[in-house]
Structure 1
């Protein structure tokens, strides 16, 4: 389980005295705990690993947005700190699909659903998320789906 791997990494970072890594791992565990608390009242409980992957993907997305803001604001040291956090977080995410693999998956879903135009964008995105959410950056996939359906 990913949760156990992250907890073991926290202990290893403490023993190694790696303060930056430990700080990021603690942030990850705090976000996961927040999500656990949110889900206490949910009627259906998602798979633990799927929930953790979704949470970590959101953390990476937030940091990428922060990097863009820091760079446009002339704060390269803050952008570098965010990039370092992304590196640690991504260690616990499954390997992401390449652009070519993503395009192939989109074409397969288009064929399966008989999608032909922009009106099918929601259906294609929904199916793409259902099949590949853990291994796909959905924000990048959205642009690829749009291009595939427009062309």
Structure 2
């Protein structure tokens, strides 16, 4: 019944735009978490380049954490919690890229881009969040 209340307060175009934006975030998180669960050499190599041990256990832990965050973000009841946890995960990724001197717009800011997409999608599809953070355009 709660989803009926949420959809009646949100115009259909806005709701679907938010769902698509959020869906892209979830798809990326599932991909990112999934490749960390498989013993791929590229994952170990990338983690070593970023200054982490190449241990498969560390990669699997990050993969599980990413998939849990994706699930929390995808479920309407826990989507705000998922977005908050995702923000922390992305902040850690950005700090890592800053520490190793990665390119700014393609690597360092990727976390910012994904975070904006995640929060923007949630904002468009959740009237409770729009009431909590009202943006007023114009005078």
Same fold, judged at TM 0.5 (above): no
TM-score (norm 2): 0.32
Which is greater in Rg? Answer: 1
